[in-house]
């Protein structure tokens, strides 16, 4: 018994002595003596400056190492930026006894506050630890490179606050991780606060040592949960050395697509407030990753579904994405919200860092179809486009939906800019070159045309210039020409000619005219940066002419009777109540445009079997106003004694939406005075309209598109039995003419 007591007493003394020795050691040991050594080793290992403010040991039941001011700085070109990592204070609790056998057991590492700053430019970033040049020079070592995890155990890492800062040029992103726990080096959990949203996450994987040892079939399970979306990523990496046999499944679900994208700082008023799902299955290696399944839908399978399969190649250096896809927009809420009818798209797509290519993409909407093929290549401030667009039948109404819903977020949606202020993409045009062809066999444009339109165009883009020859089949004829643009001069020019354009094909007027076939030409040029500036600078000429057709309108046939309301003082005139055919002898227009204003004197002429008419004035396209005077006359002046028929000028003026007709008294008076003075002087004023086509010829001048055969209007000659006395009875005497002139002037001025 006494022996046992002595043994216990001895053990107690030994323990006390050991505790005293350990206490004295911890109290007297200066860990700061190894601070410079530690900084140098870490600087060499990380290839960037590492500094530590202080290192010390703390006396506790379990020894604790405390490090203050741990900083990993940046190399050039980020040397003057905030450090990559700065830890204000961290403490490590470890066991001393295992150190005797080279075993490090760390119970817990506590980090109070840590900051991570990441910077990126077009050429470099600050978070690559390895030196690329050094890695290229040093050959890979053969043999076993696995890390030995038997000499280190780390049970728990706790981070109170970790601030993440990312800057890419002027774009800055910030996030905060709170309550970050790393258990046994394979279970990581915490909370991320980003853009006013809190996300909780759990990452369960093979340990860090399994990762360093490149253990086969390394598992991965990541779950992220938040109020607006959930993400799950799980799978395995079969071979770490070659990064082969990767199997991954990604699932994303959001209850509100708009809010989720707003959280990612992607916003647009047309994003829907609907739930969405993404399912993605990948298998393979970094050299060839097979996309076995990719499906994205909005509103379940009732609104929009996108499905694709394909491959991702060369992910290490030159990634290439090859896809075969189908997309379907159904006639439901999303279709109504976007204002688009149901559309189906299918095709192939190949994407790289610098190009996009497709053999064929088809779009089908109701009756319409479109086929796209071609490729786009891009580099620094340069785009090259080669492609083709074709369609057998294209109805623009098939791509818009009536009674479309308004944006669901009207409080934040921006008002569309007025069309006048829309800017032309001159800067983008300077970057584009290539060739594109468009071939549309049957184009239906609303209710304007009674038949289909065909379009063949071949735009060519190079050296700031666009040159697009085109042929448009319309109105049973053709419109051919060239549209050109110069981005350096910000100038647009159009030259076009139309042949055999039958106005019967225009619904707005096909009830008023019949068999009116036009020959037209246009030569226009303008320059500017916005649509309104283009309109203000519009200059050129538009010419149109015809010598066939009919007018089908009862009011047009009543105009000759209206002109006979003169000094006979008729109380009423029986206007026509039925449509009648009035033959068109000729019609012509020669419109000059100067700075957005159509201007000219008597630049429109119309000759018919019932009445002739000349029009002149101005039409301001910028201010949307008109001031045009019509001068109707009767074709056969020999059969009327009505001087007012020579001077009844109708003026149409005002804004486009409120045009007002009136009698142009001033011009009427001038015409009457001119006619009266000629008669008083004994000069016979033979109206030029007596020769069919003369009015049109005067309008066209040298700009006539096609030389018309001017036919001499047959004038019924008097028989040889007609005596000069009988002819003179039709001519008023001087006194009668003076009285007639005064009466007519009085009537014209009193209107």
- Using the structure block, give the residue that is written with the tokens 């016979």: 684
Q: Do residues 208 and 341 share a domain? A: yes
**Per residue, what are the HEC states of 282-328?**
EEECCCEEEEEEEEEEECCCCCEEEEEEEEEECCCCCCEEEEEEEEE
Which of 38-42, 363-367, 408-412, 735-739 tops mean pLDDT? 363-367
Compute the distance between CA of residue 559 and CA of residue 319 in angstroms, rounded to an integer: 76
State yes or no: pLDDT of 749 exceeds 80: no
Q: What is the pLDDT of residues 185-219, one digit of tens each?
A: 778 888 888 888 888 988 888 776 676 666 778 88
Q: Do residues 212 and 342 share a domain? A: yes
Residues facing residue 244 across a β-bridge: 239
- Asked, for residue 150, whether it belongs to a domain, the answer is no
How far are the Cα atoms of 199, 279, 730, 743 from residue 569, in angstroms, in the given order? Answer: 92, 88, 20, 11
Compute the distance between CA of residue 443 and CA of residue 294 in angstroms, rounded to an integer: 35
- Asked, for residue 456, whether it belongs to a domain, the answer is no
Which range is least confidently modeled, 94-103, 300-309, 560-569? 560-569
> Which pLDDT band holds residue 578 (cuts at 50, 70, 90)?
low
Per-residue confidence (pLDDT) for residue 362, from 0 to 100: 95
Q: What is the pLDDT of residues 605-614, one digit of tens each?
A: 988 888 888 8
As a whole number, mean pLDDT of residues 666-680 equals 61
Compute the distance between CA of residue 600 and CA of residue 614 in angstroms, rounded to an integer: 12
State yes or no: pLDDT of 331 exceeds 50: yes
Do residues 110 and 91 make contact, with C-beta atoms less than 8 angstroms apart?
yes
Q: Do residues 73 and 189 share a domain? A: no
Do residues 449 and 396 make contact, with C-beta atoms less than 8 angstroms apart?
no
CA 21 distance to own-chain centroid: 77
State yes or no: pLDDT of 107 exceeds 80: no
> Which pLDDT band holds residue 282 (cuts at 50, 70, 90)?
very high
Compute the distance between CA of residue 530 and CA of residue 461 in angstroms, rounded to an integer: 21
CA 197 distance to own-chain centroid: 30
Compute the distance between CA of residue 67 and CA of residue 88 in angstroms, rounded to an integer: 8
Last residue of a domain, one of 91, 107, 126: 126
Per-residue confidence (pLDDT) for residue 411, from 0 to 100: 41
Compute the distance between CA of residue 292 and CA of residue 252 in angstroms, rounded to an integer: 17
Q: Do residues 528 and 644 share a domain? A: yes
Per-residue confidence (pLDDT) for residue 727, from 0 to 100: 39
State yes or no: pLDDT of 220 exceeds 50: yes
Taking residue 733's Cβ as centre, other Cβ atoms within 10 Å add up to: 9
Compute the distance between CA of residue 186 and CA of residue 204 in angstroms, rounded to an integer: 6
Q: Do residues 96 and 196 share a domain? A: no
Per-residue confidence (pLDDT) for residue 715, from 0 to 100: 33
Per-residue confidence (pLDDT) for residue 239, from 0 to 100: 81
State yes or no: pLDDT of 549 exceeds 60: yes
Compute the distance between CA of residue 517 and CA of residue 380 in angstroms, rounded to an integer: 51
Compute the distance between CA of residue 472 and CA of residue 457 in angstroms, rounded to an integer: 8
Q: Which of 658, 657, 660 is closest to 628 using CA atoms?
A: 660
How far are the Cα atoms of 152, 216, 701 from residue 495, in angstroms, in the given order? Answer: 82, 70, 20
Compute the distance between CA of residue 745 and CA of residue 748 in angstroms, rounded to an integer: 5
> Which pLDDT band holds residue 147 (cuts at 50, 70, 90)?
very low
Counted domains in the chain: 3
Per-residue confidence (pLDDT) for residue 447, from 0 to 100: 81
Q: What is the pLDDT of residues 61-86, one digit of tens each?
A: 567 788 888 888 988 888 888 998 88
Q: Name which residue leads in pLDDT, 164 or 738.
A: 164
Compute the distance between CA of residue 539 and CA of residue 591 in angstroms, rounded to an integer: 11
Which range is least confidently modeled, 88-102, 135-149, 201-215? 135-149
User: Residue 115 corresponds to which tokens in the numbers above?
Assistant: 């900051």
Which range is least confidently modeled, 103-107, 257-261, 658-662? 103-107
Q: Which of 413, 398, 408 is closest to 338 using CA atoms?
A: 408
Do residues 429 and 487 make contact, with C-beta atoms less than 8 angstroms apart?
yes
Per-residue confidence (pLDDT) for residue 336, from 0 to 100: 82
Which of 111-125, 174-188, 351-365, 541-555 tops mean pLDDT? 351-365
Q: Which of 548, 553, 560, 554 is closest to 611 using CA atoms?
A: 560
Q: Do residues 199 and 335 share a domain? A: yes
- Asked, for residue 230, whether it belongs to a domain, the answer is yes
Per-residue confidence (pLDDT) for residue 494, from 0 to 100: 95
State yes or no: pLDDT of 674 exceeds 70: no
Q: Do residues 248 and 339 share a domain? A: yes
As a whole number, mean pLDDT of residues 13-17 equals 49
As a whole number, mean pLDDT of residues 237-260 equals 87
Per-residue confidence (pLDDT) for residue 668, from 0 to 100: 59
Per-residue confidence (pLDDT) for residue 751, from 0 to 100: 45
Beta strands in 121-264 (DSSP E): 152-168, 171-183, 187-194, 197-205, 218-225, 229-239, 244-254
Backbone angles phi, psi at 532, to 5 degrees: -70, -35
Per-residue confidence (pLDDT) for residue 79, from 0 to 100: 87
- Using the structure block, give the residue that is written with the tokens 């690559």: 128
User: Residue 347 corresponds to which tokens in the numbers above?
Assistant: 């095709």
Q: Do residues 523 and 658 share a domain? A: yes
State yes or no: pLDDT of 372 exceeds 90: yes
Per-residue confidence (pLDDT) for residue 664, from 0 to 100: 65
Per-residue confidence (pLDDT) for residue 338, from 0 to 100: 83
- Using the structure block, give the residue that is written with the tokens 């600050």: 126
**Per residue, what are the HEC states of 111-146?**
EEEEEEEEEECCCCECCCCCCHHHHHHCCCCCCCCC
Per-residue confidence (pLDDT) for residue 385, from 0 to 100: 93
Q: What is the pLDDT of residues 684-729, one digit of tens each?
A: 554 444 566 788 888 888 888 764 433 333 333 333 334 444 334 4
User: Residue 678 corresponds to which tokens in the numbers above?
Assistant: 């000629």
To the nearest 10 degrees (0 to 180), the angle between helices 665-680 and 734-749 is 170
- Asked, for residue 548, whether it belongs to a domain, the answer is yes
Compute the distance between CA of residue 199 and CA of residue 191 in angstroms, rounded to an integer: 6
- Asked, for residue 560, whether it belongs to a domain, the answer is yes
Which range is least confidently modeled, 313-327, 473-487, 718-732? 718-732
How far are the Cα atoms of 7, 106, 547, 554 from residue 697, in angstroms, in the given order? Answer: 137, 104, 11, 27
Under 8 Å CB-to-CB from 182, ≥6 apart: which residues? 156, 157, 158, 188
Per-residue confidence (pLDDT) for residue 70, from 0 to 100: 86
- Asked, for residue 489, whether it belongs to a domain, the answer is no
Do residues 637 and 693 make contact, with C-beta atoms less than 8 angstroms apart?
no
- Asked, for residue 430, whether it belongs to a domain, the answer is no
Classify the phi-psi angles of 245: left when phi > 0, otherwise alpha if psi is within -120 to 50, otherwise beta: left
Per-residue confidence (pLDDT) for residue 636, from 0 to 100: 59
Per-residue confidence (pLDDT) for residue 537, from 0 to 100: 94
Compute the distance between CA of residue 104 and CA of residue 126 in angstroms, rounded to an integer: 31
Last residue of a domain, one of 327, 353, 379: 353
Helix (H) or strand (E) holding 348: strand 343-351
How far are the Cα atoms of 418, 657, 747 from residue 532, in angstroms, in the given order? Answer: 10, 19, 45
Do residues 320 and 351 make contact, with C-beta atoms less than 8 angstroms apart?
yes
Residues 441/445/448/454 CA torsion (nearest 10 deg): -20
As a whole number, mean pLDDT of residues 735-744 equals 54
As a whole number, mean pLDDT of residues 495-519 equals 90
> Which pLDDT band holds residue 577 (cuts at 50, 70, 90)?
low
Do residues 441 and 453 make contact, with C-beta atoms less than 8 angstroms apart?
no
Q: What is the pLDDT of residues 44-54, one digit of tens each?
A: 877 888 888 88
* Mean pLDDT estimate for the chain: 78
Last residue of a domain, one of 89, 109, 126: 126
State yes or no: pLDDT of 453 exceeds 50: yes
432-444 and 382-395 beta bridge pairing: parallel
Q: Do residues 211 and 98 share a domain? A: no
- Asked, for residue 198, whether it belongs to a domain, the answer is yes
> Which pLDDT band holds residue 669 (cuts at 50, 70, 90)?
low
Q: Do residues 115 and 189 share a domain? A: no
Structural domain span for residue 632: 511-565+578-709+736-749
Per-residue confidence (pLDDT) for residue 416, from 0 to 100: 40
Backbone angles phi, psi at 280, to 5 degrees: -140, 130
Q: Do residues 81 and 193 share a domain? A: no
Q: Do residues 36 and 106 share a domain? A: yes
């Amino acid at each position: 018994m006494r022996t046992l007591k002595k043994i216990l007493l001895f053990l107690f003394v030994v323990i006390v002595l050991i505790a005293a020795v350990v206490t004295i050691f911890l109290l007297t040991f200066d860990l700061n003596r190894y601070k410079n050594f530690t900084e140098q080793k870490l600087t060499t290992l990380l290839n960037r400056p590492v500094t530590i403010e202080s290192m010390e040991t703390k006396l506790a039941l379990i020894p604790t190492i405390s490090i203050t001011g741990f900083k990993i700085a940046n190399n050039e070109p980020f040397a003057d930026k905030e450090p990559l990592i700065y830890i204000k204070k961290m403490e490590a609790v470890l066991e001393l006894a295992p150190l005797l056998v080279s075993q490090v057991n760390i119970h817990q590492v506590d980090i109070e506050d840590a900051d991570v700053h990441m910077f990126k430019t077009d050429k470099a970033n600050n978070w690559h630890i390895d030196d690329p040049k050094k890695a290229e020079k040093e050959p890979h070592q053969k043999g076993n490179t696995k890390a030995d995890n038997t000499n280190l155990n780390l049970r728990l890492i706790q981070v109170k606050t970790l601030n993440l800062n990312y800057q890419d040029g002027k774009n800055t992103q910030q996030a905060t991780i709170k309550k970050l726990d790393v258990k046994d080096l394979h279970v990581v959990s915490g909370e991320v606060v980003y853009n006013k949203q809190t996300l909780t996450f759990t990452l369960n994987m093979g340990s860090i040592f399994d990762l360093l040892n490149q253990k086969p079939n390394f598992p991965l399970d990541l779950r992220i949960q938040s109020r607006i979306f959930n993400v799950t990523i799980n799978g395995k990496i079969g071979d770490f050395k070659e990064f082969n046999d990767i199997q991954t499944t990604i699932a994303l679900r959001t209850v509100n697509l708009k809010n989720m994208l707003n959280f990612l700082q992607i916003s647009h008023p047309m994003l829907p407030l609907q739930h969405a799902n993404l399912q993605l299955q990948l298998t393979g290696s970094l050299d060839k990753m097979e996309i076995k399944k990719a499906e994205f839908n909005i509103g379940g399978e009732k609104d929009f579904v996108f499905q694709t399969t394909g491959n991702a190649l060369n992910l290490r250096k030159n990634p290439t994405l090859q896809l075969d896809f189908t997309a379907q927009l159904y006639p439901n809420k999303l279709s109504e919200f976007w204002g688009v009818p149901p559309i189906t798209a299918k095709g192939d797509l190949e994407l790289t860092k610098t190009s996009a290519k497709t053999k064929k993409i088809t779009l089908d909407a109701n009756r319409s179809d479109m086929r796209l093929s071609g490729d786009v290549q891009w580099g620094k401030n340069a785009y090259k486009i080669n492609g083709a667009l074709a369609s057998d039948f294209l109805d623009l109404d098939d791509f818009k939906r009536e009674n479309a819903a308004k944006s669901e977020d009207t409080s934040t949606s921006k008002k569309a800019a007025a069309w006048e202020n829309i800017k032309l993409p001159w800067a983008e045009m300077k970057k584009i070159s290539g060739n594109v062809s468009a071939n549309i066999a049957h184009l239906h444009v609303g209710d304007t045309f009674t038949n289909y339109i065909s379009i063949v165009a071949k735009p060519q883009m190079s050296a700031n210039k666009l040159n697009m020859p085109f042929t448009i089949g319309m109105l049973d004829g053709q419109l051919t020409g060239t549209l050109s643009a110069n981005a350096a001069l910000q100038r647009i020019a159009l030259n076009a000619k139309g042949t055999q354009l039958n106005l019967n094909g225009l619904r707005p007027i096909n009830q008023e005219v019949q068999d009116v076939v036009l020959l037209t030409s246009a030569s226009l040029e303008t320059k500017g940066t916005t649509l309104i500036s283009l309109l203000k600078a519009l200059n050129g000429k538009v010419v149109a002419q015809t010598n066939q057709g009919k007018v089908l309108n009862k009011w047009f046939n009543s105009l000759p009777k209206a002109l006979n309301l003169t000094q006979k003082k008729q109380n009423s005139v029986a206007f026509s109540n039925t449509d009648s055919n009035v033959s068109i002898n000729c019609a012509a227009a020669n419109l000059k445009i100067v700075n957005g204003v159509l201007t000219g004197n008597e630049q429109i002429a119309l000759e018919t079997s019932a009445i002739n008419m000349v029009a002149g004035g101005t039409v301001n396209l910028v201010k949307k106003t008109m001031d045009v005077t019509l001068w109707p006359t009767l074709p056969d002046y020999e059969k009327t004694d009505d001087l007012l028929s020579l001077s009844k000028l109708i003026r149409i003026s005002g804004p486009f939406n409120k045009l007002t007709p009136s009698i142009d008294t001033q011009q009427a008076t001038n015409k009457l005075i001119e006619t009266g003075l000629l008669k008083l002087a004994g000069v016979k004023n033979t109206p030029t309209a007596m020769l069919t086509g003369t009015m049109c010829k005067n309008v066209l001048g040298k700009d006539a598109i096609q030389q018309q055969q001017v036919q001499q209007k047959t004038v019924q000659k008097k028989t040889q039995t007609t005596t000069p006395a009988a002819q003179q009875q039709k001519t008023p005497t001087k006194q009668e003419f003076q009285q007639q002139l005064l009466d007519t002037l009085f009537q014209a001025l009193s209107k």
